[in-house]
Homo-oligomer: A and B are copies of this chain.
Amino acid sequence: MSVLTTSSSSRTLKIGVVGFGPFGQFLAKTMIKQGHILQATSRSDHSQLCHHLGISFFREEREFIEADNDVILICTSILSLSQVLNNLPLHFLKRPTLIAEVLSVKEHPRNVLLQVVPEDMDLLCTHPMFGPESGKNGWQDLTFVYDKVRIRDEATCSSFLHIFQSEGCKMLEMSCEEHDKIAARSQFLTHTIGRTLSEMEIESTSMNTKGFETLVQLKESSVSDSFDLFSGLFIYNRFAMKELQNLELALEKVKQKLQQKMEEQSSNESKL
């Protein structure tokens, strides 16, 4: 794991986004602001929004692939990754291209990409640790994790990383495995608690403590991401199940401690 501090060279990139959902759109806006040229394809028809943003939208995947991108950026849901990649006619790429992705789990897309992407294409696995909510006021000091899985064209890779670096992101190079281990104990856990609070239907009260207020916010930001995203964090991170069990166990232990204290207290009271 290392933090990238040296500023790297950068050039304007032609970036083809695959999956123009909430997160793809969120990233695209900053990339356009920086002067990059964007193209997109997606399951649903986002052509109107793309037109509005100055992005060429392709309904035909083959045309998209042949549209001469420097980078193909996979922003599709975790659950649909295999299907999307299997349908993408990558063998029509006319020249070596950087295939990058931003999924919130890392071992799974790395494994799928290594299987389906032609050998002469470079591979970069990344995870911007922020989204439309937490990054709405800019990306300064937010973490960007990446793993250079197969990079030969360092210049293109470095220009792509520069997009995040120049916005002030904390750049963190890390193996996909290490990412998934840590993310299961932090991001997945956070989403699980947010979803649990939502299941309980907790609401802001007239007498919130500061701590409770942060839980209400957590609940709201968790449900603003799709359930597909949350379940992707679980299904495609092999460390997540264990952390879910750890959470259940820890809650059980807390409950036991409370019950034990209750028994002690009632035996003390009966002695009074």
Contact = CB atoms under 8 A, between A and B. Distances in A.
Contacts of A272: 82-83, 86
Given A209-B130, A210-B130, A262 B250 contact: no
Chain copies in complex: 2
A209 B231 contact: no
A108 B151 CA distance: 66
Contacts of A24: none
A140 interface: no
Contact of A212 (B189, B197, B231): B189
Interface residues of A, number: 67
11 contacts: A83-B272, A174-B206, A185-B202, A186-B202, A189-B215, A197-B250, A199-B253, A199-B254, A231-B258, A235-B265, A248-B251
Interface of A: 1, 79, 82-83, 86, 129-130, 134, 142-143, 145, 172, 174, 179, 182-183, 185-187, 189-197, 199-200, 202, 205-212, 214-215, 217-218, 221-222, 227, 230-231, 234-235, 244, 246-248, 250-251, 253-255, 257-258, 261-262, 265, 268-269, 272
